[in-house]
């Protein structure tokens, strides 16, 4: 048996990407930030509970379950989800969003008291000058609201993550004042947000390095740093990786990247990349189930070409590509079959290689499909399907292939592999 390490020369590791200085934590915001996507349907509570269990099984230790300050209907749902965490003894910890106003923090404290489950409150306020100018805010007003919310949350026994919106376009003097107040008044996490998807990886790195120094200067050794990204420039995953390398402890994301405008960092693809980098050891074999459950719950279809989890991600109807996968399978080596024509091993993420038949297929595709579906790969059957595929304008569906395969065979003929 050939040493598998000799089969793939990995240029990615000739100058390895530096690993983060801390263990990586995840905060799944599908059930809050994700539902701000204009295209989604708000899932039923049972669907949210299902997603909660999948997040737990994937090792995502934190989840944003909503903004109770939005009204009684959200309070009811958030309470139900937190009771599920408690009653099912899940290893996932809830947090709730809140504006930096006492009225938003109050219902979070009430839910914590009712359920007996510790809740982290994520108090947020805009920080960029463009936002302050638009809202007619001044720094003293922003500080007043922030401090009042922080004091109330701490008094009520809530752990606090202090969040500034649009951090990646905010002036360091403003950030120093706001985060300094948060550190002084008991925040245990500081979250830095690329709210409008402005950042590049170097920008994310610069900001988090600045944040690390700010926390060090405060002397607060108990404080952790979060990164929250968006996909407006398509850089959510790269920015999250850069933030982790620069010292962030926890990164945020949503299933399928749903969220406002172009969406949030896709949690699923972030997990895939961190797993392939060797930075996490989470069992991600149910990740495909999580993605499809998210799609079904919010009524957002998965694009066919979506990496890893789209219909086309591990399907091939091309003769040369399919032949290589088939040969690997014939060796009885699924490890080989999942890598010979794929940079992402399908089985690590709950997916599988699929051989299809179409106008670019070879006869090996046809033979494989027939044998995989219980048909004898006779010469006439293979030829019939092969010629139909060449005349088609797209891949043949299974129904069409079954119809062709079931057509009457000659009384006697030799079996052929094509």
Give the mean pLDDT of the chain. Answer: 94
Dihedral of the CA atoms 235, 240, 246, 248 (nearest 10)?
Answer: 150
Predicted pLDDT at 315: 87
For the purposes of burial, counting CB atoms within 10 Å of the CB of 158, is it exposed (0-12), middle (13-18) or buried (19 or more)?
buried
Q: How confident is the model at residue 93 (pLDDT cuts 50, 70, 90)?
A: very high
Per-residue pLDDT at 250 exceeds 50 = yes
Q: How confident is the model at residue 322 (pLDDT cuts 50, 70, 90)?
A: confident
Question: What are the structure tokens assigned to 261, written together?
Answer: 């405008």
Average pLDDT over residues 389-403: 93
Average pLDDT over residues 172-189: 98
Q: How confident is the model at residue 417 (pLDDT cuts 50, 70, 90)?
A: very low
- Residue 116 region by backbone torsions, left for phi larger than 0, else alpha for psi between -120 and 50, else beta: left
Predicted pLDDT at 412: 55
Lowest mean pLDDT across 124-128, 267-271, 281-285, 406-410: 406-410
Give CA–CA dist 100/154, Å, rounded: 13
**Percent of the chain predicted with pLDDT > 70:** 97
Long-range (24+ apart) CB contacts under 8 A made by 312-315 are 313/344, 313/346, 313/351, 314/342, 314/346, 314/351, 314/352, 314/353, 314/354, 315/354, 315/355, 315/356
Q: What is the DSSP string of 265-331?
A: -BHHHHHHHHHHHTS-----TTHHHHHHHHHHHHT-PPPTT-TTTSTTTTEE--HHHHHHHHHHHHT
pLDDT, tens digit (0-9, with 9 covering 90-100), for 333-374: 889 999 988 999 999 999 988 889 999 999 999 998 898 899
**Percent of the chain predicted with pLDDT > 90:** 85
Predicted pLDDT at 321: 86
- Residue 332 region by backbone torsions, left for phi larger than 0, else alpha for psi between -120 and 50, else beta: left
Average pLDDT over residues 160-167: 98
Average pLDDT over residues 299-316: 94
Question: What are the structure tokens assigned to 294, written together?
Answer: 């998210």
User: What values do phi and psi take at 390, rounded to 5?
Assistant: -65, -30
Q: Which helix (H) or strand (E) holds 64?
A: strand 62-64
Per-residue pLDDT at 415 exceeds 70 = no
pLDDT, tens digit (0-9, with 9 covering 90-100), for 18-40: 899 999 999 999 999 999 999 99
What would be the CATH architecture of the domain defined by 20-298? Alpha-Beta Barrel (3.20)
The residues, any chain, with a CB within 8 Å of residue 45's CB and separated by 6 or more, are: 77, 80, 81
Predicted pLDDT at 411: 64
Predicted pLDDT at 17: 81
In the numeric block, the tokens 């990646």 are attached to 168
Average pLDDT over residues 45-54: 98
Predicted pLDDT at 408: 76
Fill in the DSSP letter of residue 254: B
Predicted pLDDT at 158: 98
Fill in the DSSP letter of residue 44: P
Residue boundaries of the structural domains of the chain:
20-298, 315-406
Predicted pLDDT at 1: 52
DSSP three-state, residue 126: strand
Judge whether 34 and 264 are in contact, CB under 8 Å: yes
Per-residue pLDDT at 291 exceeds 90 = yes
Predicted pLDDT at 2: 65
């Amino acid at each position: 048996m050939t040493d598998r390490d000799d089969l793939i020369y990995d240029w990615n590791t000739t100058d390895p990407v530096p690993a983060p200085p801390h263990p990586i934590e995840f905060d799944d915001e599908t059930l809050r930030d994700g539902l701000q996507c204009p295209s989604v349907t708000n899932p039923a509570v049972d669907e949210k509970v299902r997603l909660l269990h999948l997040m737990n099984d994937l090792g995502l230790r934190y989840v944003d379950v909503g903004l109770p300050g939005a009204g009684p209907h959200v309070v009811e749902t958030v309470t139900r989800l937190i009771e599920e965490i408690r009653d099912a003894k899940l290893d996932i910890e809830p947090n709730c969003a809140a504006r930096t106003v006492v009225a938003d923090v109050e219902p979070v404290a009430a839910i914590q008291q009712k359920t007996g489950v510790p809740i982290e409150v994520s108090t947020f306020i805009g920080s960029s000058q463009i936002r302050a100018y638009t809202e007619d805010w001044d720094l003293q007003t922003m500080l007043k609201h922030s401090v009042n919310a922080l004091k109330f949350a701490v008094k009520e026994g809530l752990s606090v993550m202090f969040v500034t919106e649009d951090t990646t376009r905010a002036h360091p003097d403003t950030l120093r004042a706001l985060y300094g107040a948060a550190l002084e008044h008991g925040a245990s996490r500081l979250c830095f947000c690329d709210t409008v998807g402005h950042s590049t990886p170097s920008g994310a790195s610069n900001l988090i390095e600045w944040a690390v120094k700010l926390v060090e200067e405060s002397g607060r050794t108990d404080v952790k740093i979060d990164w929250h990204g968006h996909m407006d420039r398509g850089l959510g995953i790269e920015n999250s990786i850069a933030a982790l390398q620069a010292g962030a402890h926890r990164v945020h994301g949503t299933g399928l990247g749903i969220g406002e405008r172009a969406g949030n960092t896709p949690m699923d693809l972030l997990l895939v990349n961190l797993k392939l980098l060797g930075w996490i050891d989470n069992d991600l074999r149910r990740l495909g189930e999580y993605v499809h459950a998210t799609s079904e719950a919010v009524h957002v279809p998965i694009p066919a070409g979506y990496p890893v989890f789209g219909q086309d991600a591990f399907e091939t109807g091309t003769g040369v590509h399919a032949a290589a996968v088939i040969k690997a399978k014939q060796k009885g080596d699924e490890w080989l079959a999942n890598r010979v024509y794929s940079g992402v091993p399908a089985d690590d993420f709950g997916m599988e290689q699929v051989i299809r038949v179409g106008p670019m297929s070879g006869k090996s595709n046809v033979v494989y499909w027939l044998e995989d579906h219980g048909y004898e790969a006779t010469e006439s059957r293979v030829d019939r399907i092969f010629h139909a595929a060449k005349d088609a304008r797209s891949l043949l569906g299974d129904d069409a292939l079954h119809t062709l395969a079931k057509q009457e065979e000659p009384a006697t003929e030799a079996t052929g592999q094509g």
